[in-house]
Structure 1
C-alpha cells in the first residue's frame, strides 16, 4: 500500500468566476483537452516562465569571454529575416482588404454628395 508521502498526485482546488471558467472551457475545447489538463499545462508553463526569468546563467570565464565577444561583434544579417521584412504585411495586401476598390477618394466623395442630394 502506498503511503501518503509517496503519492505522486496532489489535488488543487480554486474558486473562479463563471466567466473565467467559460473562457477556459472554450479554449480547452478548441485544443481538444479537458479543463484539468488545459489549466494544469497553462499553470506549469506560467510557473516555468517565472522561474526562467530568475534563474542564474552560469558559464566558465572562457565561455563568458566568447559570449561577450559575440555580443560586441558586428551584427550579421539573417537571410530568412531579410526575406521576411521584404514581404508586405497581411493587412497591406489587396486580397486582405476583401478585393473591394472604392476607386479614388475624389470619386467616392462625389458619390456621397450625389446620394446626399437625392435624400433631400
Structure 2
C-alpha cells in the first residue's frame, strides 16, 4: 500500500511535454488500479492547460485521463493564470487552493505521500 501524488507541471507545447503527460497518466493509472494504493493526481502550473484538451473525447489521451479523473485536482491559482478557469470548472475537477491559492505539496508530504512530478 502506497500513498502517491502525481503532479503534472508540463505544459501543452512540444513533443517532450506530451511525453511527460503520457507518462504521468500511465503512472497515475497504475497506482489507481492497485488495490490499497492511494492516489492524488494534481495538474499544477502549466499542467493545468491539459485539462481542456483531455476533456475532449477526440483527444488521444482522453481514455487515459478518464481512467484517473476521479483522483484529479487542479491548482486554483494556476488555472486562472494559464487561462483555463472555465474549462477546469466545466470538467468538475476539484480546485485546490490550500496554500496562498495554490495546491500544497507540503501537506501531501506531511500526510505521507510520495510526490512524483512530470
The interval holding the TM-score normalised by the smaller chain is under 0.3
Structure with more of its chain in strand, by fraction: 2
Q: How high is the TM-score relative to the length of structure 1? A: 0.20
Rg comparison, structure with higher value: 1
Which has the larger share of helix? 1
Q: TM-score, normalised by structure 2?
A: 0.20
